Structure 1
Amino acid sequence: MDIRQLKYFVTLADEKTYTRAASMLHISQPSLSAAIKKLEQEVGLILIDRSSRVLRITKEGQMLYQEAKKLLQHYEHVSFEMDRLKQQGPLELSIGLIESSMFFVPDILTRFKQEYQDARVSLLETLSLVDVKKALNNFDIHLAITNQYIHEEDIATIPIYEENLVALIPSGHNLSQQDSLNIHDLEGEDFIVCKEGFQTRQDILNAFSKSGVKPNIQFEIERFETGCSLVEDGLGITVVPENYVRYSKQANCAIKKIDGVNISRIVYLTYDKNRYLPPIVMRFIKLVKEFFA
């Protein structure tokens, strides 16, 4: 089994006919058919269901297809990286970020740019678990700084810091005058929270559930910035990372710690362990670890 055979099989599965696949591959149909049969012989499995006039991939073929597609993407990426390294060296870095990471990322990038003045850095906002996985799997980013823990063997998920979550109260709200809050004070209040698929939502709702409090959710958001704007307009209360509040400097809100409950989140550094990462990327990873050492 080699790269050429896998490319043939993936193309056939994508195009769903030997005619189109052979045309895409610039080979004859008999050559493609022979290559697929040889691949089946080598793996010892039936990959194509030939009992129907319509081309169908078997369950075993579907498994091979999924893994082969990832392998081909990785192969193409490594080939591209090697060609680029020969031409200009490892001068690109792509990072996926959550909003609150901006309280420390500029400091690390300042140090990084002192060492790699000509490096081009791309910053991509990756907020939900789907965003992070997609960006890593598609090679859109080299690494992500995220509060999503990814339970996948191929992904390294390294905790770098834990941060408290704080309540953001509209200016003039009766709770804004209290010296301290507990989670029961938020019961019945119009509540703003991240939508499904965001780890911060789960962290917040878990804290409510453990305290026996059911939040009165009125708004679901993707970005903390949106939630903060809604709070400033008096539309409800939200809970956000303390570091985000410090960075964004909300002027028309009261910031209150929530006593009596462990309401926090962990932020991770994640990357694909099986992907080739240029030295410039490994250096950035080391700088992040050193920053929080």
Structure 2
Amino acid sequence: MDIRQLQYFAEVAKQRSFTRAAEVLHVSQPSISKMIKSLETELGVILLDRSERKIELTDAGQLVFEHAQRVLQAMGDLTSSLEELRQVERGFVRLGLLPTVGAFLLPAAIASFKKHYPQIELEMREYSARPLEAQVERGHIDIGLTVLPVDEERFEAIALRAEDLVAIVYPEHWLYGRESINLQELSEESFVLFTEEYAMHDVVRQACLQAGFEPKVAYMSSLWDFVGEMVAAQIGISLVPRSVAQRLNKGRLHVVTLSWPPIDWTYALICRKDRYLSHAARAFIGFVREHVIG
């Protein structure tokens, strides 16, 4: 059995036609027929039901087709890897990121990366946490910049930097002037939360549940700045990463450290575990780790 036999058979199986397969592969139809017949003889099974006008796979053919696809994918990955070894500075990386996280962590690292690898093209798109994971899972983006935790069975995660969550309150609030607070003390407060598709929503809710209460939701938003404005307008209080709190309107907001439970907010790059990762993507991950983690 050789790779061409599997290639020819897989294309016929996909096209359900010798004629269309021959057109795709740019070979003659008799050559394909001969190659598949040779494969059937070697395996001792019939792979294609040729009795009808449209070709169908036999049970054995379906099994061989599934395995052939994996073999051909592996061969394609090998070819790509070897090509990249010959052209190590070329490539294309599709990067997905959480909007505020990306603005906080990556601009300087990306600028430096482009200077070191001017021929590696970066395509960047913004997603909230759950859609970002779905895009990585489907292979639509190569690397995602998100926050932990993620499903470790599906994704490889490279932790970059952690920070704590803090409470933000308005000047007239009873917490104004306090340096720290136990989360249990906020059980009667109204919260301005992020919408459900954002990881922050689940992190804050789980922390409140751990502290013994379900947070009362006054308002939900998908925008950091709007959350800050809603707190300043006395709609409620909120929990946000410290780096975000420092960027909001300091004259109208006060930051209070959470003494218990400490809530970690860890930024990470993720990629799919079972998917080939290009040299360009690996170079980007290594570069960001060096420049962000230090």
Normalising by the smaller structure, the TM-score range is 0.5 to 0.7
Return the offset for 1:174.
1.9
Amino acid at match of 1:266: T
1: CA distance between counterparts of 2:227 and 2:93? 30
On the 8 A contact 1:191/1:215 being kept in 2, the answer is: no
Which residue in the other structure is 1:108 paired with?
109
1:291 aligns to 2:292 (yes or no): yes
On the 8 A contact 2:192/2:230 being kept in 1, the answer is: no
Which residue in the other structure is 1:124 paired with?
125
Which residue in the other structure is 2:248 paired with?
249
2: CA distance between counterparts of 1:2 and 1:245? 58
Ranges in structure 1 where 5+ consecutive residues have no aligned partner: none
CA RMSD of aligned residues (A): 4.8
Secondary structure of 2:279's counterpart equals: coil
2: CA distance between counterparts of 1:237 and 1:73? 53
Rg larger for:
2
What pairs with 1:204-243 in structure 2 (closer than 5 Å)?
A: 204-243=204-243
Secondary structure of 1:174's counterpart equals: coil
TM-score w.r.t. length of structure 1: 0.67
On the 8 A contact 1:46/1:61 being kept in 2, the answer is: no
Amino acid at match of 1:97: L
Distance 1:35 1:230, change over 3 A: farther
On the 8 A contact 1:221/1:227 being kept in 2, the answer is: yes
What pairs with 1:25-64 in structure 2 (closer than 5 Å)?
A: 25=24, 35=36, 38=39
Provide, for residues 24-59 of structure 1, a one-character-per-residue CA deviation record: whole Å limited to 9, x for no partner: 847869958x859958x86x9999999xx9979989
On the 8 A contact 2:147/2:199 being kept in 1, the answer is: yes
Return the offset for 1:189.
0.9
Q: Using the aligned pairs only, state the percent identity.
A: 14
On the 8 A contact 2:166/2:258 being kept in 1, the answer is: yes
Amino acid at match of 1:213: F
Return the offset for 1:224.
3.5
TM-score w.r.t. length of structure 2: 0.66
Amino acid at match of 1:245: A
Return the offset for 1:125.
2.0
Secondary structure of 2:163's counterpart equals: strand
Secondary structure of 2:161's counterpart equals: strand
Secondary structure of 1:131's counterpart equals: helix
What pairs with 1:161-172 in structure 2 (closer than 5 Å)?
A: 161-169=161-169, 171-172=170-171
Which piece of structure 1 moves more, 233-242 or 160-169?
233-242
Return the offset for 1:77.
6.6
Return the offset for 1:105.
1.6
On the 8 A contact 1:144/1:270 being kept in 2, the answer is: yes
1: CA distance between counterparts of 2:226 and 2:278? 37
Ranges in structure 2 where 5+ consecutive residues have no aligned partner: none
2: CA distance between counterparts of 1:260 and 1:97? 29
On the 8 A contact 1:167/1:239 being kept in 2, the answer is: yes
Return the offset for 1:265.
2.0
Question: Would you say how many aligned residue pairs link Structure 1 and Structure 2?
Answer: 281
Distance 1:157 1:66, change over 3 A: farther
Return the offset for 1:212.
0.6
Secondary structure of 1:257's counterpart equals: strand
What pairs with 1:49-198 in structure 2 (closer than 5 Å)?
A: 85=87, 89-90=89-90, 92-98=92-98, 99-116=100-117, 120-135=121-136, 137-138=138-139, 140-141=141-142, 143-148=143-148, 149-152=150-153, 155-169=155-169, 171-175=170-174, 177-179=176-178, 180-184=180-184, 185-196=186-197, 198=198
Distance 1:82 1:117, change over 3 A: closer
Return the offset for 1:242.
1.3
Secondary structure of 2:231's counterpart equals: helix
Return the offset for 1:245.
2.9
On the 8 A contact 1:159/1:269 being kept in 2, the answer is: yes
Return the offset for 1:215.
0.8
